[in-house]
């Protein structure tokens, strides 16, 4: 059984095969392609097929954007992807799912070494699970009653919990027209926090603030921006825990969290996670996990195709 699994974001398209033979079960032939350097997804898929020589019998592709009737209008790319038409063109059926639908499915295939717990107690088996992750944007999903519930909660309005955050919200509205969680919890969001803090200090932003590598440079040089980012991450993770009482755990995925693990463990993330007024005690026992597995979306795409480990 050869399958194609994909996790396609605004920055990178990750593709891999899944071989089902007992001796070789798992992800193979993983390749990364820059999404924004390709005109469409079909071009990337054809490259992967040529690079690997694999002929999959079926595929599941996770995309950053809402999926309706196997069709996706990508959120951070100028693509409209029709899974049925793409499958007909390539010669095998293709199922499209939202990227955080796949992340939520992937959580079911994680092993203990694939995650780091930050606070809370034990997982309650069968209880709701929340999954979120910052990358190019902010994805969110839930698992309730064993069913994945994808959504676009990252685009909900950002709430403020301090005078400084109220100023941040006003600043974002002035620049972006509105203030959403994705405006601060993403690679570009980290840059926005650094720019805002520079203005608050009365100085200019660094000269490289608009460079493509600005998120990585902020992460390496601006401890205050990183600390605030982690606090906001905890606040929204706690919001998700509160909405469904996610006693099955809150999983923080995406490419940024593993690289910020020491900062996320420093205390601000968990403090803001539990800072929910009189209901803080209701979620104090809910465990939060940083997912360290490098290919959660690919695992989820494989799970959607029926594989197990």
Residue 22 has what pLDDT?
40
Residue 115 has what pLDDT?
97
- Tell whether 150 and 169 lie within a shared domain: no
- Tell whether 98 and 18 lie within a shared domain: yes
- Kindly give the confidence (pLDDT) of every residue in the chain, 309 residues in length, as a single tens digit, with 9 standing for 90 and above: 689 999 998 888 999 998 765 444 588 999 999 998 999 999 999 999 999 999 999 999 999 888 999 999 998 889 999 999 999 999 999 999 998 999 999 998 898 899 999 999 999 999 999 999 998 889 999 999 999 998 889 999 999 999 999 999 999 999 999 999 999 999 999 999 999 999 999 988 999 999 999 999 999 999 999 999 999 999 999 999 999 999 999 999 988 999 999 999 999 999 999 999 999 999 999 999 999 998 999 999 999 998 766
Residue 296 has what pLDDT?
93
Please choose, from the candidates 171, 294, 178, 189, the residue with its C-alpha nearest in 3D space to the C-alpha of residue 236. 189
Answer whether 157's CB lies under 8 Å from 178's CB.
Answer: yes
- Tell whether 197 and 87 lie within a shared domain: no
Residue 65 has what pLDDT?
84
- Tell whether 240 and 146 lie within a shared domain: yes
Residue 250 pairs with which residues in a beta bridge? 130, 288
Torsion over CA: 64, 6, 29, 131 (sign): positive
Residue 24 has what pLDDT?
45
The strands making up 26-34's β-sheet, listed across from edge to edge, are 26-34, 12-19, 2-8, 58-63, 94-98
Residue 21 has what pLDDT?
53
- Tell whether 137 and 252 lie within a shared domain: yes
- Tell whether 131 and 211 lie within a shared domain: no
Whole-structure pTM value: 0.90
Write out the H or E segment, with its range, that includes residue 97: strand 94-98
Residue 23 has what pLDDT?
40
- Tell whether 70 and 120 lie within a shared domain: no
Q: What is the domain extent for residue 220?
A: 163-225
Residue 80 pairs with which residues in a beta bridge? 73
Residues 6+ apart with CB under 8 A from 219: 190, 226, 256, 259, 260
Count of H-run helices and E-run strands, the chain: 12, 14
- Tell whether 46 and 183 lie within a shared domain: no
DSSP single-letter state for residue 106: H
- Tell whether 199 and 69 lie within a shared domain: no
- Tell whether 142 and 266 lie within a shared domain: yes
Return the CATH number at 273: 3.40.367.20
Rounded Cα gap, residues 246 and 241, in angstroms = 5
- Tell whether 85 and 196 lie within a shared domain: no
Rounded Cα gap, residues 261 and 194, in angstroms = 19
Maximum C-alpha span of the chain: 61
Rounded Cα gap, residues 124 and 54, in angstroms = 40
């Amino acid at each position: 059984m050869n399958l194609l699994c994909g996790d396609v974001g605004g920055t990178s398209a990750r593709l891999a095969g899944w071989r089902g033979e007992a001796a070789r079960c798992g992800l193979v032939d993983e390749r990364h392609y820059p999404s924004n350097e390709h005109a469409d997804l079909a071009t990337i898929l054809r490259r992967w097929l040529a690079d690997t020589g694999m002929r999959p019998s079926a595929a599941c592709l996770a995309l950053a954007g809402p999926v309706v009737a196997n069709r996706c209008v990508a959120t951070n790319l100028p693509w409209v992807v029709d899974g049925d038409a793409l499958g007909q063109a390539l010669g095998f059926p293709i199922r499209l799912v939202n990227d955080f639908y796949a992340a939520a499915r992937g959580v079911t295939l994680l092993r203990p070494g694939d995650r780091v717990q930050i606070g809370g107690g034990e997982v309650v088996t069968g209880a709701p699970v929340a999954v979120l992750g910052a990358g190019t944007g902010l994805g969110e999903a839930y698992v309730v009653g064993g069913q994945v519930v994808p959504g676009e909660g990252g685009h909900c309005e950002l709430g403020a919990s301090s005078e400084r955050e109220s100023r941040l919200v006003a600043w974002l509205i002035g620049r972006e027209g509105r203030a959403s969680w994705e405006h601060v919890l993403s690679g570009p969001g980290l840059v926005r926090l650094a720019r805002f803090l520079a203005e608050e200090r009365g100085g200019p932003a660094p000269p490289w603030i608009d460079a493509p590598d600005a998120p990585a440079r902020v992460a390496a040089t601006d401890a205050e921006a990183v600390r605030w980012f982690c606090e906001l991450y905890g606040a929204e993770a706690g919001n998700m825990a509160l909405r469904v009482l996610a006693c099955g755990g809150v999983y923080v995925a995406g490419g940024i969290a593993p690289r910020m693990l020491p900062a996320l463990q420093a205390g601000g993330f968990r403090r803001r996670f539990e800072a929910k007024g009189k209901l803080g005690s209701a979620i104090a026992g809910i465990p939060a996990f940083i997912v360290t597995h490098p290919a959660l979306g690919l695992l989820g795409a494989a799970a959607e195709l029926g594989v197990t480990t």
